[in-house]
Structure 1
Amino acid sequence: MTVSRETLEALESLGLTDYETRTYVALNSIISGTATEISQASQVPRSRIYNILKSLAGKGFLEINRGKPLTFTVIPPHEVFEKNRNNIRRKLERAEAELNVIYENQIPQVPAPIWILHGPDKIVNKEMEIISRAKKSIFVMGGLMFPGEPAKLGMNLQKTLKKGIDTRILTAPTCNVDGVEVPVMEVLKELPTETKFFPVPYIKLVVRDRQEMLIAFCKLSGKTAISETAICIWNQYEEFVDTIAGIYDFIWSMDFFSQDFNLKKSSDKFSD
């Protein structure tokens, strides 16, 4: 029985050799069999098949049934893949946590910790990365929101809220990007955090723990933002970041940004 190249590559990614892959695929087609039967089905040499079967058993791909002769029964693919998927996920999570510690400790040591990023995807990915590292506070000013970004932002901020992180959002109700209206308020209004909606200019600001920040902007065509021109500055100059955070605090406390502000007026004002 033949399978696609993608399936073969998937099995190889789980650590199977060529012979092991051929043997496991063949065993799925006969479910259970003796070494001779499996050798014939897989076209793996009889002299190699026992070692291959023992190796597959050790890796959790089949079971050995005692008797004369020995028989070998395949473990269903969904069980095999689920177990390996969980193992891979755990390894990736541990590796990510370990490398993040190294990464986060090293960034402040860079002589000039300022980077320029271009394009919506890179900017949004960096934004979510910064939010994921928050330990005490996250401040967001969302005058510039790309399509799909509010949903990603909401999902990531839910995680910070569960950690008890001080989270505040000051954002425009909608944002027009490339002629598409991004429904920011509609997506974020139910988020259980301090959120104020106001016609913020076309600029994005994210401040983490008063230690790291991202500020993004782009060219405009009338009242719509041109996403392909988007650029952002990401830095960890703590003195500068703390200054910007102070300005954010000042703006946040101003009366016309109060949470009692009439959202309909806000939307009308934004569309003027």
Structure 2
Amino acid sequence: MKENTIETLKNLNFTEYEAKAYLALLEESPLTGYAVAKNSGVPRSKIYEVLESLALRGDIFVSYGNTPQYIPVPAKELIRNRRLKAEEAFEQVEKSLAKFELSSNDRENIWNITGRNEILDKVKACILSAEKRVLLEIWEEEFNELESELRQAANKGVTITIITYGEIESDFAHIYHHDMSREITEEYDGRWIVFSGDDAEVVAGIVSLDKDSRAAWTMHVGLVMPITEVMIHDLYLMEIMEKHRKVLEESFGKNLIDLRHKFSIYPDFKKHYVK
């Protein structure tokens, strides 16, 4: 039992001798240095060095007199102090790394991501780092896997706007259902995902090829701006369709199919990005 406790204390940056001395004082105190050495098994030649180290770190208290005596900081207080110091250290590291990251981020590169799970993991991380707005174009299959992160972002005040393919419903996001979801899936022979966070980074790619899925992540303004604006223009069009569908379909066919055909370069009107 004591050996396990010593190993635990070593995980809190105690040396083995420090752990033994501290436990000896927990069992009985106050003690002189000689008594701590005797009760703990720490060599007498090392005990005062060990006790001085514990005192400097605030893990024990010393009463100086003709013969100094030592008492331990209570175990609960020791743990609380360690926890506070660890949290302070994590906060300092987090701030330092954030500053370093801001100064070192390469906003000129485009990073490739391979594999559907890997793409979704990156989108999840981007969602959780967003502070103002998330724009997302997505099929219901992928939405189900991102819903938890999207809800977390919404709960902290991030505006979530989603262009959806398929039956997606949400109580935390602005949902825009795209026309012809099934037909578009067949036309493109697959599904894609487009993410824009805070107008600062984007992830875009194909997610229906399992391990062969491909996407790009970038903070390059030359891509972030046009991709984000294309999504916003999709939203414009969907708002316009909502209010003026009849007039537009009279000119361009049901669900604007004539426009889709007009701007296709393939005789079968299907998209052949994936070959």
TM-score by length of 1: 0.67
**1:250 and 2:250 correspond:** no
Specify whether residues 38 and 256 from structure 1 end up closer, same or farther in structure 2 by C-alpha distance, changes over 3 A only: farther
Matching residue of 1:170 = 162
1:87-126 residue pairs with structure 2 within 5 A? 87-108=85-106, 110=108, 112-118=109-115, 120=117, 122-126=118-122
Q: Give the Cα separation in 2 of the matches to 1:23 and 1:257.
A: 77
1:160-239 residue pairs with structure 2 within 5 A? 161=157, 167-170=159-162, 185=169, 189=171, 191=172, 194-196=173-175, 198=177, 202-219=191-208, 231-239=214-222
**1:130 and 2:113 correspond:** no
Specify whether residues 195 and 23 from structure 1 end up closer, same or farther in structure 2 by C-alpha distance, changes over 3 A only: farther
Matching residue of 2:245 = none
**1:141 and 2:130 correspond:** no
Specify whether residues 117 and 12 from structure 1 end up closer, same or farther in structure 2 by C-alpha distance, changes over 3 A only: farther
Q: Give the Cα separation in 2 of the matches to 1:117 and 1:235.
A: 14
Specify whether residues 230 and 38 from structure 1 end up closer, same or farther in structure 2 by C-alpha distance, changes over 3 A only: farther
Determine what percentage of the aligned residue pairs are the same residue: 20
1:198 CA drift (Å): 3.8
1:63-74 residue pairs with structure 2 within 5 A? 63-66=61-64, 69-74=67-72
- Asked whether the 8 Å contact 1:170–1:252 carries over to 2, the reply is no
SS of the residue corresponding to residue 168 of structure 1 reads strand
1:127 CA drift (Å): 3.0
Larger radius of gyration: 2
Q: Give the Cα separation in 2 of the matches to 1:102 and 1:152.
A: 26
Residue identity in the other structure for 2:93: A
1:80 CA drift (Å): 1.8
1:125 CA drift (Å): 4.7
Q: Give the Cα separation in 2 of the matches to 1:198 and 1:31.
A: 72
SS of the residue corresponding to residue 58 of structure 2 reads coil
Question: Cα RMSD (Å) of the superposition?
Answer: 3.5
Residue identity in the other structure for 1:212: E
Specify whether residues 139 and 172 from structure 1 end up closer, same or farther in structure 2 by C-alpha distance, changes over 3 A only: closer
Instruction: Choose from 150, 157, 166 the match for 2:147.
Output: 150
1:213 CA drift (Å): 0.6
Specify whether residues 80 and 172 from structure 1 end up closer, same or farther in structure 2 by C-alpha distance, changes over 3 A only: farther
Q: Give the Cα separation in 1 of the matches to 2:87 and 2:166.
A: 37
Q: Give the Cα separation in 2 of the matches to 1:91 and 1:117.
A: 35
Residue identity in the other structure for 2:217: W
The structure richer in helix per residue is: 2
- Asked whether the 8 Å contact 1:173–1:198 carries over to 2, the reply is yes
1:231 CA drift (Å): 4.7
Q: Could you tell me which runs of 5 or more consecutive residues in structure 1 were left unpaired when the two chains were aligned.
A: 176-183, 221-225, 259-272
1:136 CA drift (Å): 5.0
